[in-house]
Structure 1
Amino acid sequence: MAKIKTVYVCKDCGYETPKWLGKCPDCNNWNTFEEEVVQAKSTSKAVTTSRTPKKAAKKLTEVTSSKSDRIVTGINEFDRVMGGGIVRDSITIITARPGAGKSTLLLQVADCIAKKGHKVIYASGEESDSQIKNRADRILDNINENIWVVQETSLDNVVDSIEEIDPDLIIIDSIQTFTMEGYLPARAGSPTQTMECANELLRVAKNDKRQRAVIIVGQMTKADELAGLRALEHLVDTVLIIEADSDEELRGLVSSKNRFGSTGETGFFQMTEKGMMSIDNPSEFFMTKRDEGELVSGSTLTVIKEGSRPIITEIESLVSKTFTPYPTRIGETLGKDKLNTLISILEQRGGINLYDKNVIIKTTGGMRIREQGINLAVIMSIVSSVKQKGIEGNIAFIADVGLTGELKKVPSLESRVKELARMGFKRVYVAKDSFSKGTVFKGIDVIALKTLNDVIFHVYR
């Protein structure tokens, strides 16, 4: 008979030790060890172990690719991030802060797939059947007959339901609430239970005789990372993260890993009473619609790159006189250090003093800015606010600005300019030598200049 023993497992890296330690010697994190009770393996020679049946080797040329075999949900931004839809024999994990909309989005995905005739099982270890039904009544027009709900914390029982119903899509919400009987008394959420549950779901998804898609909800830590071992991210095919501020309606769905699509792809949603609404044309969403010829000071337009897609974004600034010794610098969607750097460049290289001015920067729609290609647009937005002179709405700025005041070219500039041309823009300012000689864009005038002062002079001459 196997003996019962106690071990301590690091919840961050999985390192095991027979006694509790304050600091993990493997990942160097503090207070991460959790107690687990396990069965020690018997050393008796009479004990035999069963061997997993051997799978025959195949030639790579004979293996059928699953990339073309996808379930398209019809939720455009979700399908984009997934690489064109859900691959049938894939396993995906999605994580976000509490309340970001994980369960809401997945219920919408389940509904769209069910309407196409596919069976869906939604297994929840966190919410009751009635809670799921209440959410469905609120966000879905009609609940499809192809959706089954399982309120259960035993993954063994969920697998039995899968064999009985034979679904095409399985949703597990969340994996940290499920256990498998063979690994008790390890508690739900422990590294052992989480990984074994994930491995069982992997077996279900990758079955050669019956391929199924699995989407797992994973909890997020206080450090905004997927809870559990890093091995969980390695195991799955796709890792999705919903980025959101609690007081904003905008949601960004980002793929930090995707074996069947582009890693880093981003989809945008708007959280409403009817659920997560796909923003199918972000370039329109992140701009303010104004009448032709209407000029508003402090507003400039640029193009950012989110994943493989260029998106037109509006930068807004407000400059006002300060009545305190230290002027206010606020960048709602821009890092404060970056904002201070750009203000210093404008003062020193552009000749505009802001030592007695408050400066506030934000973007329309709440788009967070991370790249350098928007720097010229941010500075020109401040210049426009200081001068109280608006810039025409069909003009854009795409360039980085160095500490010397010189403009720097940015990556993927050609696709950004083409997006501006598609949206009807007439002029764009870029850094000198951004394109090779002879490059021509239809319908838009590309102004290539060397310094920030050149841009200010050209715009306000």
Structure 2
Amino acid sequence: MKSKTVYICSNCGNESPKWQGLCQNCDEWNTFEEQTKIKETISRNYDRPRKEIIKLSDVTSSNSERIITGINEFDRVMGGGIVKDSLTIITAKPGAGKSTLLLQVAQDLCLKGRKVIYASGEESESQIKSRSTRIFDKASENLWVFCDNSLNSVIYHVNKVNPDLVILDSIQTFQIDEIKESKAGSPTQTMECANELLKLAKNPERPRAIIIVGQMTKKDEMAGLRALEHLVDTVLVIEGDSDEELRGLSVTKNRFGSTWERGFFSMTERGMISIDNPSQYFMTKREDEKSVSGSAITVIRDGSRPIIVEVESLVSASFTPFPSRICECLGKDQLNTLLSILEQRGGVKLYDKNVVLKTTGGLKLKEQSVNLAIIMCIVSSVYDKPISNDCAFISDVGLTGELKKVPALESRIRELDRMGFNKVYIAKGALGKNVKFKDIQVVEKNTLIEIIHTVLK
């Protein structure tokens, strides 16, 4: 058995035979820590397997039981609830609401008769109590709190209390007592802790759900080795800055459901409030006689569901050689492209005008299906003519000024129909034949100039 000294980066896990100030892998300074590696010669036995091999056709499939929290957006992102024998990791910037959301999940499950242990390696019992007092009136008797960074102690209390859900906040602050050569937060400790938690969750005699919090680096990536993401069943990310009210909960990996789902929450003094009807949240409700210029409605596809979004613009005279192009909701290149199409194909001159663009609620726009609505809200602002509140636009616009079809058009229109809209403009031939809607009228046009003349004549 031999031992040697190596240096491992605490940020990315890169290994070096000597100490370095700058990690060549992740470009972080002063992250290398000295560790002793023991290499021993092991005689391997291939004669007696630990488990027998079986045919795939003989395996009995079973649907995993889910724990419903009652927080609609959280349950939807998780694929219908928390799987009872799963390991989930959630990460976000500091102050985004990770601990707040998980404490709400714990409280809601406890009120349904479930037992939950909330273990924290970075906060005290009094800090957790102060947060709970802020977001709910009285803590459930089924909610247990443990504040220490020893994973051994956590597992001891798990075996004693026998909870249905264990929350660990955060994985980088915990350590296994037997691994004395590595401190909490090192790649070795983090991965060993995660593996122990995986065994705890997948125990066939007593399966239980475990949610761990992962810290985020300055580059908005989960801290630690990439292997941590591969180990867990589900990866959740909370989007949104601490000074903003809107929060997005997205899933980038889910072995028990679809990926790239996103739920929306509103951060308030009483915690994270689930936005169960995003279409209503991301548009301004106005009376018919109070339509305003510079506003247009479209529908985006966020994960598996359509969401109605209001796009707003403000166009004003510019007294400088280079007019301003300010946009909070999409890239400047996309905005400049749409302005060029509007000038050349729509006949609207903007060379001497400032253009400001945003969405209600601050939602980012990434789809081409919003292009027609963006152009129409700018045209409405230029001519100071309002677009009817019950009208929407779903189409891409080509460089030729022609309208283009977009994916999942039928489901988008059905969302408008559900929300009571009366008319939607789309590209001609984009919708399949024999598609019927309850109340909404579908208007098909070929070009951008036809839309402008029809809507703002």
Same fold (TM over 0.5): yes
User: What residue number does 2:5 align with?
Assistant: 6
Q: Contact 1:6–1:35 (CA<8 Å) still a contact in 2?
A: no
Q: Contact 1:66–1:89 (CA<8 Å) still a contact in 2?
A: no
Give, in angstroms, the shift of residue 431 of structure 1. 1.4
User: What residue number does 2:16 align with?
Assistant: 17
Instruction: Decide whether aligned partners of structure 1 residues 52 and 126 sit closer, same or farther in structure 2, where only a CA change above 3 A counts.
Output: farther
Q: Which amino acid aligns with 1:65?
A: S
State the identity %. Answer: 63
Unmatched segments (≥5 aa) in structure 2: none
CA distance in 1, matches of 2:453, 2:20: 64
Give, in angstroms, the shift of residue 13 of structure 1. 5.0
Secondary structure at the aligned position of 1:183 is classed as: coil
When the two structures are superposed, what TM-score results if normalisation uses the length of structure 1?
Answer: 0.93
CA distance in 1, matches of 2:52, 2:249: 39
Give, in angstroms, the shift of residue 120 of structure 1. 0.4
Give the stretch that moved more between structures: 69-78 or 450-459: 450-459
**Deviation sequence 1:85-114 (CA, Å, 0-9, x none):** 000000100000000000000000000111
CA distance in 2, matches of 1:460, 1:278: 38
User: What residue number does 1:124 align with?
Assistant: 120
Q: Contact 1:92–1:215 (CA<8 Å) still a contact in 2?
A: yes
Instruction: Decide whether aligned partners of structure 1 residues 440 and 48 sit closer, same or farther in structure 2, where only a CA change above 3 A counts.
Output: closer
Q: Contact 2:93–2:241 (CA<8 Å) still a contact in 1?
A: no
| Corresponding residue to 2:326 among 310, 330, 346 | 330
CA distance in 1, matches of 2:27, 2:48: 36
User: What residue number does 1:441 align with?
Assistant: 437
Give, in angstroms, the shift of residue 40 of structure 1. 1.4
| 1:127-142 alignment runs, 5 A limit | 127-142=123-138
Q: Contact 1:248–1:366 (CA<8 Å) still a contact in 2?
A: no
1:36 matched to 2:34? The reply is: yes
**Deviation sequence 1:420-453 (CA, Å, 0-9, x none):** 1111111111112212333332311111212111
**Deviation sequence 1:89-143 (CA, Å, 0-9, x none):** 0010000000000000000000011111111010101111100000001101220
| Corresponding residue to 1:391 among 384, 387, 393 | 387
Give, in angstroms, the shift of residue 35 of structure 1. 1.8
Q: Which amino acid aligns with 1:9?
A: I
1:360 matched to 2:359? The reply is: no
| 1:18-167 alignment runs, 5 A limit | 18-21=17-20, 31=29, 34-43=32-41, 54-57=50-53, 60=56, 61-67=58-64, 69-167=65-163
Unmatched segments (≥5 aa) in structure 1: none
Instruction: Decide whether aligned partners of structure 1 residues 388 and 101 sit closer, same or farther in structure 2, where only a CA change above 3 A counts.
Output: same
| Corresponding residue to 1:403 among 391, 399, 403 | 399
Secondary structure at the aligned position of 1:384 is classed as: helix
Q: Which amino acid aligns with 1:131?
A: Q
Give, in angstroms, the shift of residue 55 of structure 1. 4.0
Secondary structure at the aligned position of 1:293 is classed as: helix
**Deviation sequence 1:334-381 (CA, Å, 0-9, x none):** 222221221111111111111111111111111111111111111100
CA distance in 2, matches of 1:164, 1:59: 38
| Corresponding residue to 1:269 among 256, 265, 271 | 265
Q: Contact 1:8–1:33 (CA<8 Å) still a contact in 2?
A: no
Instruction: Decide whether aligned partners of structure 1 residues 263 and 310 sit closer, same or farther in structure 2, where only a CA change above 3 A counts.
Output: same
User: What residue number does 2:198 align with?
Assistant: 202
**Deviation sequence 1:13-49 (CA, Å, 0-9, x none):** 5342322357767x57565862231241345x8x999
C-alpha RMSD over aligned residues: 2.2
**Deviation sequence 1:160-217 (CA, Å, 0-9, x none):** 1111111110000010111112322212111111111111100000000000000010
CA distance in 2, matches of 1:304, 1:251: 18
Give, in angstroms, the shift of residue 326 of structure 1. 1.8
Give the stretch that moved more between structures: 200-209 or 157-166: 157-166
Q: Contact 2:10–2:33 (CA<8 Å) still a contact in 1?
A: no
Secondary structure at the aligned position of 1:318 is classed as: strand
Q: Which amino acid aligns with 1:376?
A: L
User: What residue number does 2:241 align with?
Assistant: 245
Instruction: Decide whether aligned partners of structure 1 residues 198 and 430 sit closer, same or farther in structure 2, where only a CA change above 3 A counts.
Output: same
CA distance in 2, matches of 1:360, 1:52: 71
CA distance in 1, matches of 2:30, 2:342: 47
Give the stretch that moved more between structures: 223-232 or 78-87: 223-232
| Corresponding residue to 1:312 among 308, 317, 328 | 308
CA distance in 2, matches of 1:200, 1:108: 25
Q: Contact 2:88–2:234 (CA<8 Å) still a contact in 1?
A: yes
When the two structures are superposed, what TM-score results if normalisation uses the length of structure 2?
Answer: 0.94
Instruction: Decide whether aligned partners of structure 1 residues 38 and 156 sit closer, same or farther in structure 2, where only a CA change above 3 A counts.
Output: farther
CA distance in 2, matches of 1:142, 1:28: 45
